[in-house]
Structure 1
């Protein structure tokens, strides 16, 4: 039900009993202005300066009724012409505020959504430092998240000083202008420009956009499950995972045919269940000061991987798949780059030269996906060089590096296209797989995203965490990352077991790897990564105890196949995330709204990963229910508890009334 109440100098918009917009001449809900931005990108990290020329409140308004909609004209002073025209309407349960006319040359807008002091906010894409976003502002711009992501740490300081890559609490591969409020509504702003959502003020949330957006959308629900179901019906939903994924670990390994397949045989003999070999260097390697990188020419490298075409067939007979790597850029001087140049498939700079992006001691061309011919060419590269060759999946990396000063085929500003790029990249992968008839067989996973990724990406991953215990960029950070993604409509999420980034003294330890593996066993997908400096960091396959530990956790994961598959199916059908914040099922418990390092896996499993080193016990919170300790069978009724947490037995509990309790007992008995 939409109601617009108007009296002298003020109005408010109510929707389904919630006051969402309040406006008066003393406290307007909308400001417009002009600004000029300067973007400096260094290897995917952005330094953005905004020179604000004006910010003008639109205090004065006229409202007219048109059928079931309201037309609102706003201006800054009585004697001037109207500056902005809005249409407020509702249909199919949604409140939509459309921006129809802009008669002033504005390229900045600030919108205020009514707020309450005690309100909590979740979402805005993948947020790794905060889950409840209240009290902070969040710039929404896809980029490298940065190393460390906390300006108070030595690692971040070193990364800033030496690499221009330190990051901050809000930097993320996957931002999105969508949030869910504890007032039980979702809000989505349709724009791909730079945005900043500010949740610091007690009485309003201020949404800043560096263009006039298309619309602002709200939808309400009686509970959070209903709200997420409605949000994902609007955004789209991820498909189910291929069945082979649940058969074991996706082993991240590289180094060529002999090394990879010898290790595979060795690990299988030691009892490690494998669902796939993920060899990101299948197309060759490059060595840089950052570490081992890849040769970005997306075709089989026969020198490094001789006989791979035959080996992939042999693997499948063992019920193991082979996975690779691709991204939206082509390495200067290589065969795909030359093809792209010949057919005019690359983006240009302002001087009419091919735009080359610095990816860290090597340069690449940007395949211009706004050119339909280039888009279709790259789909054929995926279909022919990856799918037809036999790959069952790949990391569809990057997507966040589109320079804001490149010139695109569609003539749109790259500043506006930058945030849109990851979703376009996701759609390209989706269409390639669908056209090949492989949607139920192929798994690709991405780190970058924006509005629209939901329906085009089979799996998200948390990006390049540091190989340490830091809250903002280590093991702990992937928990709020998964939860915030779930509240933004992406319910399938996982991370590199052991992390990825080893810089400025960060070296992966055996304990960190083992704790990360414990957590991964209670996520939709288990996958390891050797990291950017494999030789410097702990690798489990060189350690007997770590192999046994990983084998046990993988056995637990495979034993839970039925339960996890059912949760994944629910995500595909209803949009309910696999990893869930506790308040999705315990709304009345005020304590759970601020928990960001615990989650429910499906409905019935409570997971509280150990994210600090040298811990033998762990404190956590259980909402009121009948809980059974996963490993020892002890019963709990809720509240703050402390439990023993030796390696191999992470704090996990299941609901006593669960229909899967027999399965949980069997999984816990694995030794």
Structure 2
């Protein structure tokens, strides 16, 4: 949202007010916050205090390593919800707060981060830096904090007609030379966001359009800090795209609050972000099994489902979760929670039979109710649907005819919706795909909780939706057994895993876009993520070569799902059932078998990722190697946990170029060693890709031939020591999430005897 024609002039019909100086500073009673009075003109004498606006800037120390900044124009303006659910695990104590004042500056320190406000000059100057003095992080300098009115009032009296004005608050943090910015949700555009304008506004349009289903108001800087913008409202960001040396954050309203979190490492930044918005939830080991979907708009029935599952089984391809997508319900009836009886005469019996071949069953739901279904009339009569201001139910023909939107601000509507889910659980459903929920109207609507701001509900609705379904799953199956597959998200929804990337095009570019999206979402505290293997946004299927490359990438994400649009992307439909060693079926069988073997490592890394608020996969290289400048620009490769590097192949020829940071890296397939740092080129068939194990790694693998996801991770396993050093340790978790034991390398550089391991083999790489 650009308000200026240049650094000097406001845009046509736009009124701007900047904090020009810090006139006075007061300290809050508890000694943990400052309040700055900032006039929008220089106050050389008392007469200058007349007929001018001021901005109030409150700077606080919410917990060690974090500083909050709230800018307000008119303090009397209401601040309606919804508000993000902060500190879900309780707010940590602030133990290390200091405020020091002198004639020339005031400093507030919150553990490892400090802010200094200059008071000796008429220039506005606030700087944020590491308390130990090692680095300045960012700043708020001249003309960096202000408000804008559109159109510009000609005199102060006109602000009485504020409803006719668009009033916005903005701040502009400094962007240093060489600084790069990451995160902001599942964004498939540039990995480094510098130079881009981004709107945080959940939208339905496919990831290739620069829009996002998952808009997260949080970003990480390469200078060792992160910023969380504390509002679910529409946020406009100009990241070096307006004024090249600044990041402008703009929201419509009278106030803007954000937190600056000091690392200095990106891992530490994510830990602090998860203090604010919550840690990712734990998930069961069965959820890591490969998923198979019917396809989002496919026409299928009981016979089709049976043929898909039996076809996978006959080709030695394991299926962990089978996903009934969309048309398990009748056309024009989404979402009435009722199986189409013509297609599925006995859903409960079918699901029971299906579980003889797959581990779990998932169905796709959404928060929209079609008027063609009786469920619409029931929900409408009880006041469960979002209404217009005149009392009409808000309806649209988007996706299904005359849909109404479930109003989750109504407790009775929530209770009813959960009861519908219970009927699905009773039929044998184990998991839920929370589809849609990203397109919520903001004009001419009134929520059951009437004071709520409709614009803020646009992004926040995803949090309510996933939270309600996730907690219903927890009530049904247990706290750590709940699994949903969410499409839309907002800050805090990392607490309700898994999140799946959606609507990628079946092209190499689409696969690359998906990787950038997964990397960006992972840098917002999301531990678990999956991609639509093969792409799903168009009616066509990917060419066989791309499908096989996508299998390798998708099955090395934290979670995996074969998903198409008009049909299920099973391998024999892609290449005419090529039975050769390089055919789609054999390639898929190999990658699902490898995934099963990796489960002791994957599941142990999952537990540690949740604790630290880190992505299991896709984990950006910069998280593991923050001191390597190259790793801050790598958007075509990632880490699977802390020890395995993955570089997907995008070329039909199998050629691939990738980067290895400093150290010895061992090829997982050949055991050949490469020394980093450096760029390398390789060529791969479809059953391999660059998969390198980091030095000093203890890697536990399941036995050869294992096809299951859930098994005893301490029995009949293979322990591989990759250039390990004495004292190296690794925690092994069991398939129920319990600690099975600690693996340790002894002084002789061999594994210390571990009684908890049974029938193991040890390989020294």
Which bin holds the TM-score, normalised by the shorter protein? 0.7 to 0.9
Matched, 1:284 2:329: yes
The answer to whether the 8 A contact 1:498-1:529 is kept is yes
The residue correspondences of 1:354-393 to structure 2 (distance < 5 A) are 354-360=393-399, 362-382=401-421, 384-393=422-431
The answer to whether the 8 A contact 1:190-1:213 is kept is no
Q: 1:209 to 1:101 in 2, by over 3 A?
A: closer
RMSD over aligned Cα, in angstroms?
Answer: 3.0
Residue among 93, 96, 100 paired with 2:68: 96
Q: 1:494 to 1:52 in 2, by over 3 A?
A: farther
SS at match of 1:451: coil
The residue correspondences of 1:150-169 to structure 2 (distance < 5 A) are 167=209, 169=210
Residue among 555, 558, 566 paired with 1:524: 558
The answer to whether the 8 A contact 2:309-2:357 is kept is no
Q: CA deviation at 1:362?
A: 2.7
The residue correspondences of 1:271-670 to structure 2 (distance < 5 A) are 271-281=316-326, 283-286=328-331, 295-318=334-357, 320-360=359-399, 362-382=401-421, 384-405=422-443, 406-411=445-450, 412-455=452-495, 457-470=496-509, 474-502=510-538, 507-532=541-566, 539-540=573-574, 543-544=577-578, 545-579=583-617, 580-612=619-651, 614-638=652-676, 639-660=678-699
SS at match of 1:217: strand
Deviations 1:69-119 (A, max 9, x none): 211122323423553322211132120123466157573111011220211
Aligned equivalent of 2:16: 55
Aligned equivalent of 2:743: none
Deviations 1:590-625 (A, max 9, x none): 11111111101101111110123x222211111111
The residue correspondences of 1:146-225 to structure 2 (distance < 5 A) are 146=206, 149=208, 167=209, 169=210, 171-200=211-240, 201-213=243-255, 215-225=257-267
Q: 1:512 to 1:285 in 2, by over 3 A?
A: farther
Matched, 1:229 2:271: yes
1:395 and 1:92 map into 2 onto residues whose CA distance is: 36
Deviations 1:378-431 (A, max 9, x none): 12222x232222111121011111111122222233222111111111111122
SS at match of 2:67: strand
Deviations 1:519-539 (A, max 9, x none): 012111111113146699983
Q: 1:558 to 1:252 in 2, by over 3 A?
A: farther
Q: CA deviation at 1:640?
A: 0.8
Q: CA deviation at 1:317?
A: 4.6
Q: CA deviation at 1:458?
A: 1.3
Q: 1:417 to 1:429 in 2, by over 3 A?
A: same
Q: 1:359 to 1:344 in 2, by over 3 A?
A: same
The answer to whether the 8 A contact 1:282-1:305 is kept is no
Q: 1:345 to 1:53 in 2, by over 3 A?
A: farther
The answer to whether the 8 A contact 1:117-1:202 is kept is no
Aligned equivalent of 1:9: none
Q: CA deviation at 1:285?
A: 4.5
Aligned equivalent of 2:33: 69
1:532 and 1:262 map into 2 onto residues whose CA distance is: 16
The answer to whether the 8 A contact 2:534-2:569 is kept is no
Aligned equivalent of 2:101: none
2:705 and 2:427 map into 1 onto residues whose CA distance is: 39
Q: CA deviation at 1:128?
A: 0.8
The answer to whether the 8 A contact 1:121-1:133 is kept is yes
Aligned residues, how many? 592
Deviations 1:317-361 (A, max 9, x none): 555211111011111120221211110111122443211122246
Q: CA deviation at 1:282?
A: 5.9
1:425 and 1:468 map into 2 onto residues whose CA distance is: 31
2:429 and 2:52 map into 1 onto residues whose CA distance is: 60
The residue correspondences of 1:255-270 to structure 2 (distance < 5 A) are 255-270=300-315
Aligned equivalent of 2:178: 118
Q: Which structure 2 residue ranges, 5 or more long, are not aligned?
A: 1-5, 42-47, 76-158, 708-716, 719-765
SS at match of 1:432: helix
Matched, 1:80 2:51: yes
Q: After alignment, is 519-528 or 70-79 more displaced?
A: 70-79
- What is the TM-score of this pair, normalised by structure 2? 0.73
SS at match of 2:189: coil
SS at match of 2:632: helix
The answer to whether the 8 A contact 1:502-1:533 is kept is no
Q: CA deviation at 1:436?
A: 2.4
The answer to whether the 8 A contact 1:75-1:83 is kept is yes
The answer to whether the 8 A contact 1:123-1:179 is kept is yes
The answer to whether the 8 A contact 2:222-2:632 is kept is no
Aligned equivalent of 1:15: none
Deviations 1:411-467 (A, max 9, x none): 233222111111111111122222324443342111211112122x21111111112
- What is the TM-score of this pair, normalised by structure 1? 0.82
Q: 1:530 to 1:216 in 2, by over 3 A?
A: closer
1:664 and 1:27 map into 2 onto residues whose CA distance is: 64
Q: CA deviation at 1:173?
A: 0.7
1:127 and 1:621 map into 2 onto residues whose CA distance is: 23
2:703 and 2:571 map into 1 onto residues whose CA distance is: 34
Aligned equivalent of 2:280: 238
Q: CA deviation at 1:304?
A: 1.0
1:535 and 1:218 map into 2 onto residues whose CA distance is: 44
The answer to whether the 8 A contact 1:283-1:297 is kept is no
Q: 1:238 to 1:326 in 2, by over 3 A?
A: same
SS at match of 2:70: strand
Q: Whose RCO is larger (CA < 8 A, sep 6+)?
A: 1
The answer to whether the 8 A contact 1:514-1:549 is kept is yes
Q: CA deviation at 1:190?
A: 0.8
Deviations 1:472-499 (A, max 9, x none): xx11111111111111111211111111
Deviations 1:298-327 (A, max 9, x none): 222222112220232233355521111101
1:551 and 1:310 map into 2 onto residues whose CA distance is: 28
